Structure 1
Amino acid sequence: MKKILIIAPAWVGDAIMAQPLYRRLHQRHPGLILDVLAPAWTRPLHARMPEVSESFDTPFGHGELKLGTRWTLARQMKKRGYDQVIVLPNSLKSALLPFFSGIKTRTGWVGESRYGLLNDTRILDPLALPQMVERFAALAEDANQAIVRPVPFPHLVVNDQDRAASATKLGFDTSKPMIALCPGAEYGPAKRWPGRHMAALAQSMQERSFQVCIFGSNKDREIADEILAGAPGTIDYCGKTSLAEAIDMMSLARAVVSNDSGLMHVAAALERPLVAIYGSSSPEFTPPLSARAKVVTLDLECSPCFERLCPLKHMDCLNLLKPDKVLIALDQLLA
């Protein structure tokens, strides 16, 4: 029986895009035991991926080296008898623990010159693998083997008991249809559709008898408050749920409107009808991986710039994207 350890990404969206890799590994290795080593905040995602046997938390903050801690954790992983470790982040630090563990096969992209730390290194051809989900999935294959296409969409499994428990805890009326709004984007303001536009959309949907709910973290408080000021009847779950509860609640949505963010990928993996709004980023690289998604973007000459802040200081890619354009896409999904 083969045992594989995954060093998983820290970002929510990236963690979801790794799931097709896990599915492919199970196809290749029947009876596989697949474990994941990842930041604690991604545990609710892996708990909803049936391919994952166990999830272990990494005790490293962003940018922390902690060589002693990595060595200790590596010794613990070595005792579990893995045949292979696949490293998804491209950083040098992420390859240290696999090297310390002495796991026989250590697979990953070259990344930050990780020759020696990894012994099954792959050199990326970005034209052959333009999407991140493809770059992850390719690591399921042997070196120099082509990726199996089409790469399946990620899929999160939510059970009825968890869904009902979250709705009860939050006092949500499941008899009325819900539109979920995800107005945040941790990467930066250049990925966030303005709160005033999101509020206008929320107001329109409330007038059609939808419950409109905001999801996000405490970091999204400012834009959430702007939406609440413009659409007072909106239900505010921003910073008031765990990630697990947000996933369970979003699975109840009739449709989701989201910026290019981790929660956008959650909505796609839940197979909810989804309007995905793009400004400074590109749907070519990290699209919503769902047959039920519509991308809305102005596709201006200056975008995508992939910047956290608009380098031209006007953010026309999102300011000029009016609510009626998003509403048309949402109506098409609801129809």
Structure 2
Amino acid sequence: MKILIVGPSWVGDMVMSQSLYTMLKRLHPNAKIDVLAPAWCKPILERMPEVNQAIEMPIGHGAFNLAGRWALGRELKARGYSHCYVLPNSAKSALIPLFAGISKRTGWKGEFRYVLLNDLRPDRKVFQYMVERYVALASPKATMLSEVKLENCPKPRLSVDNQIQQATFVKLQLNQDRPTIGLCPGAEFGPAKRWPDNYYAEVACQLIERGQQIWLFGGAKDREVTNKIRAALPQELQQHCYNLAGETSLIEAVDMLAACHTVVSNDSGLMHVSAAVGCNIVAIYGSSSPKYTPPLADKVEIVHTDIGCRPCFKRECPLGHLDCLNKLSPDVVINSINKFIG
């Protein structure tokens, strides 16, 4: 059995999709699973033991490029896939499996995909959680509602490369003389998911005064935010706060997050990575909801406000006040961290 997965394009979604691959391997232990995904996903996919091969998607996210999809589909046809699972909901994402002549093409209804998919699932909203929607595709349509529940979904588990981890320690001049708390203050989705910088700085200050050290995670575009957080600390405490944003590759960040005792994060891709490498998680939700994309870890504390306008799932606050984040005080987050570190 050879399976092609058309994978998602966001870090968090890609991590959560591992739950589907794990379920497929449970059902079909000898199956080979290849994942078609953007190039940046390859290091993440290589940390999933269920994945045989990551295939680079050469067409940019959002681009239609019918000729390019036809050419890629005909190239994949030679691999002889028997099944395909299409995780994005767009019509264009279902074209390549059709062009590849894959006999069984499974996915949720969306964007006029009636002809493109022949194992079409009618309404993904019958499942509350995104991970349930992924895992349900592994079950027959007739039984998926009774078989798939959040508590039965396999949790993502990314492997950790100790050699890369140690090399990154040396490269970034890090040590673990103090217990390490990771802070992930960015969110690719938009500002309505980002807890205020000064709140993160207050948390960092309290933790350092109590003998912890802080590692700040993110990409290059998060560097401005992480610089502000570190600069807001008293001068004598800054030596225990390390700004790693933009200093690591994504796969190095995976291994560095695995070295953290606890991670405090907005609802972001790094939150899901942290959960998948076994960290204790304090997850901060603003405009989004843990009733849709919770961190899939064993030890999780979820914090959010209960104001009436959340969750709105908007990139920017439509009311202009960001109360869902501004009214979530640092003490609430500290109390949640205390449940892990005492």
TM-based fold match above 0.5: yes
SS of 2:317's partner is coil
SS of 2:296's partner is coil
Partner of 2:219: 217
Q: For 1:102 and 1:311, how far apart are their aligned partners in 2? A: 45
Q: For 1:298 and 1:56, how far apart are their aligned partners in 2? A: 41
Q: For 1:72 and 1:62, how far apart are their aligned partners in 2? A: 17
1:86-125 equivalent positions in 2, closer than 5 A: 86-125=85-124
Moved more, 291-300 or 143-152: 143-152
Partner of 1:153: 155
Q: For 1:125 and 1:61, how far apart are their aligned partners in 2? A: 25
Q: For 1:193 and 1:275, how far apart are their aligned partners in 2? A: 12
Letter in 2 for 1:263: L
SS of 1:80's partner is coil
Moved more, 270-279 or 220-229: 220-229
Cα displacement (A) at 1:41: 1.0
Letter in 1 for 2:71: T
1:1-335 equivalent positions in 2, closer than 5 A: 2-126=1-125, 128-146=126-144, 147-149=147-149, 150-231=152-233, 232-233=238-239, 234-335=241-342
Letter in 2 for 1:297: H
Q: For 2:31 and 2:337, how far apart are their aligned partners in 1? A: 40
SS of 1:4's partner is strand
Cα deviation digits, residues 13-37 of structure 1 (max 9, x gap): 0011111111111111121111111
SS of 2:295's partner is coil
SS of 2:99's partner is helix
Moved more, 314-323 or 166-175: 166-175
SS of 1:186's partner is coil
The answer to whether the 8 Å contact 1:167/1:174 transfers is no
Letter in 2 for 1:250: L
The number of residue pairs the alignment matches comes to 333
Q: For 1:162 and 1:140, how far apart are their aligned partners in 2? A: 33
SS of 1:238's partner is coil
Moved more, 117-126 or 282-291: 117-126
Letter in 1 for 2:49: P
Moved more, 45-54 or 164-173: 164-173
Q: For 1:71 and 1:170, how far apart are their aligned partners in 2? A: 44
Q: For 1:317 and 1:333, how far apart are their aligned partners in 2? A: 24
Query: 5+ unaligned residues in a row in structure 1: which ranges?
Result: none
Runs of 4+ in 1 over 4 A off after TM superposition: none
Moved more, 237-246 or 172-181: 172-181
TM-score (norm 1): 0.96
Cα deviation digits, residues 255-287 of structure 1 (max 9, x gap): 100000000001111110110000110110011
Q: Matched residues, percent identical?
A: 50
Q: For 2:178 and 2:75, how far apart are their aligned partners in 1? A: 49
**What is the RMSD of the two structures over their aligned residues, measured on CA atoms?**
1.2
The answer to whether the 8 Å contact 2:108/2:124 transfers is no
Cα displacement (A) at 1:125: 4.9
Cα displacement (A) at 1:78: 0.8
SS of 2:137's partner is helix
Cα displacement (A) at 1:332: 0.5
TM-score (norm 2): 0.95
Q: For 1:250 and 1:7, how far apart are their aligned partners in 2? A: 27
